[in-house]
Structure 1
């Protein structure tokens, strides 16, 4: 991964930690003022964000390390491990928030909310900070292909809706005395968190289990190889993903009468074409002698 990509990933990780820390402080104060469970749900989510962002930043540092004697393919799997850890933390958080909201919703003595206006101000500020972070993370993820930055971006993007829901809950309690809306919003936020966590976890698990690249990517690589000049055929195309990297192994069939220099030039040019299409790809091409037509082997 280019150094510039490393710096962009690190900037996204530092921004994530900084925003999460500020949001924890703001929502902790808002919870003390309002006693709103929807704010508590948002606070728990932000506290979780802070822990996960710290782990993600450490993973980004580790994944950026170049290959060494013990890790000849690099350290990019650290991104998948961190993303899997994210999903597990988010699932636990969703379960706790959902259960607390359910109990409060069924309670005979619902908790009265207070100072809803201050809570609304804090949640509005949270939305602004989160939106700014998401925009930067999405730009970084598009540029570098980092899975952990993408996962963090999706999580923060999902936070926007619970934050908006918390504002609506506080407004409904202040305007109409509908404190039950607070619990309903918190339960909805818990469901959204769980769905997002399962998606993040599946992607990380697939990468850790060496799942092949998407069918679209495989088909595109096959198209490039099949149409490459002087390549008579190809076989045994294998792909896998690790963090933001794509690993490609491919056998191509070449004229056995040409020189090794010519064969190497064909292979190298094909490799450059695949890397141009997928800049974070690690490509290994094996050169095989093409079998002559059956009538020429007689």
Structure 2
């Protein structure tokens, strides 16, 4: 999918495409397992069911995340995306354990494979579907700054590498006569999926804990504030946080006590505009204070 087209499509549209891709690959991979009897291809098909469940859940969570702020959620619903990526991580974890269970049983009772060529061909077609969609979704995830979309894309890409590894192993079985290659490859695939699950789960938890903006974004904010500060105006107690694609910034702006409210408000609007120019989509909250006045109970550092 061309990059320009990927950018125009919404997060929800991509997740709907992911649901469709999951349904298509479930059919292809189940047929591949049916004709070959390969436990490796069975593990690959099982992960596609996980893809389907994860994509549906992600679509629900993204729909919630895009809902406007309300009385009960004055900061919006953006964090719902982290529940989506966390759910995907748990689904990937469950799939990997199921794959290992099936592979161990096949290791203890090896069975010959049949119609390997047909099964691998079906698996390759499903990989092409998932691979093309995953690459487009990763580009769109960066543009939309959506962790839910990125999680689903990385899940799909994991599925692609899984399918490639399984297909290679299945092709080697009739060539080498080593029946244990099939379950061994399935276990290797499961361990790789476990690694992906751990990474997604860590990022989801990190996001739910109000992580600050990244160093580059914070540096742009600091630079903008330094350019606006002067003998009469200073800034301190800067805090930032991210909630999926939403970015928040709050700080104190100290102005002379003799300024009129209108002048102070105009200066605050100028600061807000400059910060939003520095970091696109930033939501700024500025508390006005007279010079020399510090609010009680606040001890966060000032702006460098």
TM-score, normalization by structure 1: 0.88
User: What do you get for the CA RMSD once the two structures are aligned?
Assistant: 2.3
SS of residue paired to 1:253: strand
Aligned to 1:120: 120
Contact 2:137/2:149 (CA < 8 Å) preserved in 1?
yes
Q: Unpaired runs of 5+ in structure 1?
A: 293-298
Aligned to 1:149: 149
SS of residue paired to 1:227: helix
Aligned to 1:9: 11
Q: Residue 245 of structure 1: CA displacement?
A: 1.1
SS of residue paired to 2:70: coil
Deviations 1:194-237 (A, max 9, x none): 11111111111122222333344333322322232547432211
Contact 1:172/1:179 (CA < 8 Å) preserved in 2?
no
TM-score, normalization by structure 2: 0.87
Give me the whole-angstrom Cα distance separating, in 2, the residues matched to 1:282 and 1:189: 42
Q: Residue 168 of structure 1: CA displacement?
A: 0.4
Aligned to 1:241: 242
| 2:48 counterpart of 1:46 | yes
SS of residue paired to 2:254: strand
Count of residue pairs the alignment pairs up:
287
| 2:183 counterpart of 1:183 | yes
Superposition pairs for residues 1-298 of structure 1, below 5 Å?
A: 8-105=10-107, 107=108, 109-228=109-228, 230=230, 232-291=233-292
Contact 1:211/1:240 (CA < 8 Å) preserved in 2?
yes
Give me the whole-angstrom Cα distance separating, in 2, the residues matched to 1:139 and 1:250: 33
Deviations 1:144-200 (A, max 9, x none): 111100111111122221111011012101322233222222112111211111111
Contact 1:6/1:64 (CA < 8 Å) preserved in 2?
no
Give me the whole-angstrom Cα distance separating, in 1, the residues matched to 2:275 and 2:184: 50
Say if 1:226 and 1:166 are closer, same or farther in 2 by CA, change over 3 A. Answer: same
Give me the whole-angstrom Cα distance separating, in 2, the residues matched to 1:103 and 1:275: 58
SS of residue paired to 1:100: helix
The structure 1 segments of at least 4 consecutive aligned residues displaced by more than 6 Å after TM superposition are none
Greater CA drift, 207-216 or 69-78: 207-216
Contact 1:81/1:204 (CA < 8 Å) preserved in 2?
yes
